[in-house]
């Protein structure tokens, strides 16, 4: 089985997107931790781990196809964020970009009749539905509960309750 050069490049780019997401969420977690948002900090530390497992899944797939993955450097060094709401909005935007990139690869794998890559990407398609829904629902909480200190504290508790341990990359 051989990957086309187009898919090879896009899968490698995806390694970068997942690495970037992992780093962004780590920076968000760190800011939340020092701002007193304990729940959000735990949530984003776990989210960062999850993105790393996504990156590893793609690296392993590339390796299975005989391709050494190009491990990218990440440039984002943000240490400060405006608010918890801004963070959730940024995270949602990030997930929407990841979804777009995944869908593009799905379309190409269909066109190229690359059934293995198509099947591999199915997990990511479903994962992105969950990821986007998760952040959309969290964002709604600001309208539903509010933006004052008590409301933010409630939202922080909700984030704590949604923290999940990342599953190991297969």
Residue 95 near residue 132, CB atoms below 8 Å: yes
Out of 23, 24, 52, 54, point to the residue binding ligand FEO (CB under 6 A): 54
What would the x/- binding string for ligand FEO be over residues 1 to 20, using CB under 6 A?
-----------------x--
DSSP state of 147: S
Nearer to ligand FEO, 18 or 156 (CB): 18
Q: How far is the CB of 2 from ligand FEO (least distance, A)?
A: 25
Out of 95, 105, 109, 156, point to the residue binding ligand FEO (CB under 6 A): 95
Nearest-Å Rg of the Cα atoms of the chain is: 17
Nearer to ligand FEO, 131 or 156 (CB): 131
Question: CA of 70: how far to CAs of 54, 73, 162, 168, in Å?
Answer: 15, 10, 33, 21
Q: How many CA atoms lie within 13 A of 116 on its CB side?
A: 11
Out of 51, 62, 69, 152, point to the residue binding ligand FEO (CB under 6 A): 51
Residue 142's nearest CA partner among 46, 40, 47 is 40
**Site residues (vs ligand FEO, CB under 6 A):** 18, 21, 51, 54, 95, 98, 131
């Amino acid at each position: 089985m051989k990957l086309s050069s187009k898919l090879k490049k896009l899968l490698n780019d995806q390694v970068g997107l997942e690495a970037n997401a992992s780093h962004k969420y780590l920076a968000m977690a760190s800011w939340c931790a020092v701002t007193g948002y304990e729940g959000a900090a735990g949530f984003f530390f776990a989210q960062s781990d999850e993105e790393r497992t996504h990156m590893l899944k793609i690296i392993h797939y590339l390796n299975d196809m005989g391709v050494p993955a190009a491990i990218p450097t990440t440039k984002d060094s943000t240490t400060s964020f405006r608010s918890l709401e801004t963070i959730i909005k940024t995270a949602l935007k990030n997930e929407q970009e990841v979804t777009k990139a995944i869908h593009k690869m799905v379309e190409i794998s269909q066109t190229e009749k690359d059934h293995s890559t198509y099947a591999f990407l199915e997990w990511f398609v479903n994962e992105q539905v969950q990821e986007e829904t998760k952040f959309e629902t969290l964002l709604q909480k600001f309208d539903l509960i509010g933006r004052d200190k008590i409301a933010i504290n409630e939202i922080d508790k909700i984030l704590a309750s949604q923290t999940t341990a990342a599953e190991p990359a297969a």
